């Protein structure tokens, strides 16, 4: 039967890779739970991040709190700057991000230049654009917009009894705890600049209109690399990075004001001043190697040189991947200078400079912030294959991300085959090779079920296995089969 699926959505739903949270009480947009398969892929993504950045940078990984007191976000600028423009449809009372409505309008028309200008618009300009373009409410189809207002995305709470409650907020990003702890970490662990500190954890954003599955969430997961360095040290970089290789690395870049990306070396971006320093260049190189390890196809991703940088940054490069929803941002590489340390020092009254040798330094920071949820969606979306040639859809996941390396299948429900297949499963388990076992349905259907969640190899235990100790190993990508000794599985 001809396959009619166009994207991974059906697989995601049928296999419970991720799904709406607490839906028995009615859906609340922007919250998702992960099933066993999705969680395995997510954890593999996080493990690959640790290998790609933590190990290469000889980094110090920490875990800081999700809830922080109000002064933290006053110093960081989130109380005043972490906002979005909200337009409410007066007919159905649904709130929408005005800038996203206009961006999507132009993207559908193929006018990327106009879409790129939206981030520079004031609220008054956004209001004018909504009316001029005839943009209608996605929910009810009417064009009855309220005046655009500025909405702060922080989730507010408090700590303690009501009479003495301390104003607190759920963190909207993971780095602030690192900046607050940096001086103590530097002393306790005898650090020297340059030094990298990493963290993976939850962040919370009260999004106006979360949608598009994992693309826009209210509870999300982030992974951050904070590279601290002396701004007078032009070459300082921790860990294992070859400078020549890094600067010769080619990446697709969408420059400011351009409509098409171009492939250039990182070294050329450093030379012409597009990127500010070698620390930024080397992290960009490691990010590109990470992108390749994840398995995003060439031509499906680019690095966008951000025209309007956040308040804390002097240079931003966003990694964008083309999905069925268009290009979506997956990570941000930012030169934060000493903004965070100086802001926290000023508000707290504490000196956050450190001694590097005999020199007192207020460290500068280059940050690479990567989400976990959006990339998971992009990974599944770009890995999807319709599979008309084999009769079922499947996912071309990299081995590093696949939920299991092997599926183990007895050819049929014969007691001896089942026992032998479970013996193979036990051997893989002892070797800590991720695998799963199935004896339900025909062998063809079991291959299909493995393919559609991206399992690279299927192991079939048949009657020949009982005779000579070999099994059939089937490749997901080309469906070819070879026989191997059980002891050769790894």
CB 281 within 8 A of CB 235: no
Distance CA 242, CA 317 (A): 21
Q: Is residue 78 part of a domain?
A: no
Distance CA 333, CA 175 (A): 13
Q: Using one digit for the tens of pLDDT, what is the confidence trace for 330-375?
A: 999 999 999 999 999 999 999 999 999 999 999 999 999 999 999 9
Q: Is residue 97 part of a domain?
A: yes
DSSP 3-state of 63 = coil
Distance CA 237, CA 228 (A): 9
Model pLDDT, residue 168: 97
pLDDT higher than 60, residue 308: yes
Q: Is residue 251 part of a domain?
A: yes
- Domain ends where: 324, 347, 382? 382
pLDDT higher than 80, residue 61: yes
Q: Which residue from 437, 451, 443 is spatially nearest to 411, judged by alpha carbons?
A: 443
Q: Is residue 72 part of a domain?
A: no
Q: Which residue from 128, 139, 124 is spatially nearest to 85, judged by alpha carbons?
A: 124
The angle formed by the CA atoms of residues 292, 296 and 300, to the nearest 5 degrees, is 125
Judgement on whether residues 203 and 293 belong to the same structural domain of the protein: yes
DSSP 3-state of 258 = coil
Q: Using one digit for the tens of pLDDT, what is the confidence trace for 363-376?
A: 999 999 999 999 99
What is the CATH number for 35?
3.30.930.10
DSSP track, 209-237: S--TGGGS-SEEEEEEEEEEE-TT-SS--
Judgement on whether residues 375 and 297 belong to the same structural domain of the protein: yes
What is the CATH number for 410?
3.40.50.800
Distance CA 393, CA 175 (A): 39
Judgement on whether residues 374 and 232 belong to the same structural domain of the protein: yes
Q: Is residue 398 part of a domain?
A: no
Judgement on whether residues 369 and 294 belong to the same structural domain of the protein: yes
Mean pLDDT, residues 43-61: 98
Number of domains making up the chain: 3
Judgement on whether residues 350 and 242 belong to the same structural domain of the protein: yes
Judgement on whether residues 371 and 467 belong to the same structural domain of the protein: no
Judgement on whether residues 202 and 234 belong to the same structural domain of the protein: yes
Model pLDDT, residue 254: 96
Range 242-275 burial, b when 16+ CB lie within 10 A, else e: eeeebbebebbbbbeeeeebeebebbebbeeebb
Range 357-381 burial, b when 16+ CB lie within 10 A, else e: eeeebebbbbbbbbbbbbbbbbbbb
Q: Using one digit for the tens of pLDDT, what is the confidence trace for 84-134?
A: 999 999 999 899 999 989 988 888 888 877 887 888 899 999 988 888 888
Q: Average pLDDT of the chain?
A: 94
Q: Which residue is associated with the tokens 């920071």?
A: 365
Strand partners, 318: 304, 332
- Domain ends where: 316, 348, 382? 382
Residue 280, number of CB atoms within 10 A of its CB: 24
- Domain ends where: 382, 416, 441? 382
Mean pLDDT, residues 26-42: 95
Judgement on whether residues 87 and 63 belong to the same structural domain of the protein: no
Q: Is residue 388 part of a domain?
A: no
Q: Using one digit for the tens of pLDDT, what is the confidence trace for 461-483?
A: 999 999 999 999 999 999 999 99
Backbone angles phi, psi at 423, to 5 degrees: -65, -45
Model pLDDT, residue 430: 96
Question: Rg (Cα) of the chain, in Å, rounded?
Answer: 25
Residue 312, number of CB atoms within 10 A of its CB: 20
Judgement on whether residues 411 and 445 belong to the same structural domain of the protein: yes
Model pLDDT, residue 113: 78
pLDDT band for position 4 (cuts 50, 70, 90): low
CB 230 within 8 A of CB 361: yes
Distance CA 461, CA 455 (A): 17
Q: Using one digit for the tens of pLDDT, what is the confidence trace for 221-248?
A: 999 999 999 999 989 999 989 999 999 9
Structure tokens at 218: 């209210």
Model pLDDT, residue 50: 98
Domain hosting residue 124, numbered range: 83-147
Q: Is residue 73 part of a domain?
A: no
pLDDT band for position 312 (cuts 50, 70, 90): confident
The size of the chain, in residues, is 490
Judgement on whether residues 31 and 141 belong to the same structural domain of the protein: no
Judgement on whether residues 205 and 328 belong to the same structural domain of the protein: yes
Percent of the chain with pLDDT strictly greater than 70: 99
pLDDT higher than 60, residue 3: no
Distance CA 348, CA 302 (A): 39
Q: Is residue 390 part of a domain?
A: no
Parallel/antiparallel/unpaired status of strands 250-254 and 301-305: parallel
User: Which letter does DSSP use for residue 246 in this model?
Assistant: H
Which stretches within 295-414 are classed as H helix?
Answer: 339-348, 373-383
Whether the model clears a pTM of 0.85, i.e. scores above it, the answer is yes
Q: How far is CA 435 from CA 21, 126, 331, 459, in A?
A: 27, 52, 31, 10
Q: Which residue from 314, 258, 318 is spatially nearest to 284, judged by alpha carbons?
A: 318
Mean pLDDT, residues 4-23: 92
Mean pLDDT, residues 393-419: 97
Q: Using one digit for the tens of pLDDT, what is the confidence trace for 415-473?
A: 999 999 999 999 999 999 999 999 999 999 999 999 999 999 999 999 999 999 999 99
Judgement on whether residues 346 and 410 belong to the same structural domain of the protein: no
Q: Using one digit for the tens of pLDDT, what is the confidence trace for 273-299?
A: 999 999 999 999 999 999 999 999 999
């Amino acid at each position: 039967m001809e396959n009619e699926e166009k994207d991974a959505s059906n697989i995601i739903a049928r296999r419970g890779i991720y799904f709406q949270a607490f839906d028995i009480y009615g859906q609340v947009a922007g919250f998702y739970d992960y099933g066993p398969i999705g969680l395995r892929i997510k954890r593999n993504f996080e493990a690959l991040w640790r290998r790609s950045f933590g190990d290469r940078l000889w980094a110090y990984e920490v875990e800081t709190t999700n809830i922080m007191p109000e002064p933290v976000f006053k110093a960081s600028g989130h109380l005043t700057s972490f906002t979005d423009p909200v337009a409410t449809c007066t007919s159905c009372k649904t709130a929408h991000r005005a800038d996203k409505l206009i961006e999507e309008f132009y993207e559908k028309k193929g006018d990327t230049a106009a879409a790129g200008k939206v981030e520079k618009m004031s609220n008054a300009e956004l209001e004018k654009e909504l009316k001029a373009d005839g943009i209608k409410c996605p929910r009810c189809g009417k064009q009855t917009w309220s005046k655009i207002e500025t909405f702060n995305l922080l989730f507010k709470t408090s700590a303690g009894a009501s009479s003495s409650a301390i104003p607190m907020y759920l963190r909207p990003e993971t780095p602030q705890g690192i900046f607050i702890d940096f001086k103590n970490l530097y002393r306790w662990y005898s650090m020297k600049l340059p030094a990298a500190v990493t963290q993976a954890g939850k962040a919370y954003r009260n999004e106006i209109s979360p949608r598009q599955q994992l693309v826009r969430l209210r509870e999300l997961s982030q992974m951050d690399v904070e590279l601290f360095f002396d701004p007078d040290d032009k070459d300082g970089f921790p860990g294992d990075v070859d400078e020549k290789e890094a600067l010769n690395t080619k990446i697709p870049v969408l420059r400011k004001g351009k409509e098409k990306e171009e492939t250039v070396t990182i070294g050329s971006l450093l030379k012409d001043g597009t990127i500010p320093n070698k620390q930024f260049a080397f992290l960009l190189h490691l990010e590109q190697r990470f992108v390749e390890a994840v398995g995003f196809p060439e031509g499906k991703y680019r690095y966008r040189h951000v025209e309007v940088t956040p308040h804390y940054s002097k240079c931003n490069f966003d990694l964008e991947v083309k999905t069925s929803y268009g290009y979506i941002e997956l990570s941000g590489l930012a030169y934060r200078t000493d903004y965070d340390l100086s802001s926290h020092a000023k508000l707290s009254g504490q000196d956050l400079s450190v001694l590097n040798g005999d020199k007192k330094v207020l460290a500068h920071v280059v940050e690479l912030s990567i989400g976990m949820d959006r990339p998971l969606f992009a990974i599944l979306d770009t890995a999807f294959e319709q599979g008309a040639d084999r009769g079922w859809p499947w996912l071309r996941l990299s081995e590093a991300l696949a939920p299991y390396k092997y599926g183990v299948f007895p050819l049929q429900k014969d007691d001896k085959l089942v026992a032998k297949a479970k013996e193979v499963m036990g051997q893989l388990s002892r070797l800590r090779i991720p695998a799963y076992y199935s004896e339900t349905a025909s062998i063809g259907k079991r291959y299909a079920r493995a393919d559609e969640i991206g399992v690279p190899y299927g192991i079939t235990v048949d009657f020949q296995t009982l005779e000579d100790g070999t099994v059939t190993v089937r490749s997901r990508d080309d469906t070819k089969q070879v026989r191997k000794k059980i002891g050769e599985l790894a």
